[in-house]
């Protein structure tokens, strides 16, 4: 695509770096911004700057936070003996939105993926074992995607953690609430039978 203006071209290139955005979509975004009211554009541009200047990663759990220690890690009402290991900030939000978890988190910052060049050393795994050495953790819950990368990462952490006296669990895989058995894939259905649970535990929810 050839543009009549250098500024449009550069702005399209900048928007096209966002995940899943191609040049055509980027151009739609650019035209939208041009037509927006001035104050909205000023605000948009300012917020993008603030994302870098005002946000940091929590030094304890590595989630995104405005403080050095995030609100969850700083909350005395939450159980610091349980750590839920997740891929990124979005998973923290998703689990927080369930309102059913009251422990701490540990954000890996990605999943092991040799194809994308993401090795264990580029993830926050070392700091997890450091936490275990302090001997205050009772349980680690692995809450990673049910994908090849997620399973690989879970297994890697399982082996790293093995030397420590800590309970290791993983979130349940099974039929999603509202789903029909007929359309579930065999692996999920098979696992949901192997990992069946006492019926009365369902009644409590």
- Residue 74 is a binding residue for a copy of itself (CB under 8 A): no
Residue closer to a copy of itself (CB basis): 90 or 173: 90
Please identify, among the stretches 42-50, 78-86, 127-135, 160-168, the one whose residues bind a copy of itself according to the rule CB under 8 A: 42-50
Distance of CA 104 to the CA centre of its chain: 14
- Please pick, from the candidates 80, 88, 139, 151, the single residue that binds a copy of itself as defined by CB under 8 A: 88
- Residue 102 is a binding residue for a copy of itself (CB under 8 A): no
Residue closer to a copy of itself (CB basis): 7 or 197: 7
- Residue 89 is a binding residue for a copy of itself (CB under 8 A): yes
| First-last CA distance in the chain | 55
Please identify, among the stretches 60-68, 113-121, 146-154, 177-185, the one whose residues bind a copy of itself according to the rule CB under 8 A: 60-68
Please identify, among the stretches 1-9, 116-124, 151-159, 181-189, the one whose residues bind a copy of itself according to the rule CB under 8 A: 1-9
| Cα(13)–Cα(23) distance, integer angstroms | 7
- Residue 72 is a binding residue for a copy of itself (CB under 8 A): yes
| Cα(47)–Cα(53) distance, integer angstroms | 10
Is residue 112 within 8 Å of 119, Cβ to Cβ?
yes
- Residue 45 is a binding residue for a copy of itself (CB under 8 A): yes
Is residue 96 within 8 Å of 75, Cβ to Cβ?
no
**64-65 and 103-107: which strand pairing?**
unpaired
- Residues 2-41, one symbol each (x = binds a copy of itself by CB under 8 A, - = not), give xxxxxxx-xx--x--xxxx----x-xxxxxxxx-x-x-xx
- 85: nearest Cα among 75, 99, 95, 71: 95
Report the site for a copy of itself in 185-204 (rule: CB under 8 A).
none
Size of the site for a copy of itself (CB under 8 A): 55
- In DSSP notation, 17-43 reads TSTT--HHHHHHHHHHHHHS-HHHHHH
Does the CA dihedral 111-116-120-124 come out positive or negative? negative
Question: Which residues of this chain interact with a copy of itself, rule CB under 8 A?
Answer: 1-8, 10-11, 14, 17-20, 25, 27-34, 36, 38, 40-52, 54-55, 63-66, 70-72, 88-90, 92-93, 96-97
């Amino acid at each position: 695509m050839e543009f009549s203006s250098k500024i449009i071209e550069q702005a399209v290139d900048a928007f096209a770096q966002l995940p899943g955005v191609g040049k055509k979509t980027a151009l739609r975004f650019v035209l939208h911004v041009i037509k927006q009211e001035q104050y909205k554009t000023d605000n948009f541009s300012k917020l993008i700057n603030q994302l870098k200047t005002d946000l940091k990663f929590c030094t304890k759990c590595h989630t995104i936070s405005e403080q050095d220690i995030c609100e969850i890690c700083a909350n005395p009402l939450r159980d610091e003996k349980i750590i839920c290991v997740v891929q990124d900030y979005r998973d923290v939000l998703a689990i927080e939105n369930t309102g059913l978890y009251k422990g701490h988190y540990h954000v890996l910052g990605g999943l092991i993926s040799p194809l994308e060049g993401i090795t264990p050393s580029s993830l926050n795994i070392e700091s997890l074992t450091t936490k275990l050495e302090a001997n205050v953790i009772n349980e680690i819950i692995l809450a990673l995607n049910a994908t090849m990368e997620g399973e690989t990462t879970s297994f890697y952490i399982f082996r790293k953690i093995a030397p420590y006296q800590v309970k290791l669990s993983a979130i349940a895989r099974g039929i999603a609430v509202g789903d029909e058995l007929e359309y579930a894939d065999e692996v999920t259905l098979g696992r949901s039978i192997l990992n069946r649970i006492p019926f009365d535990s369902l009644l409590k929810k």
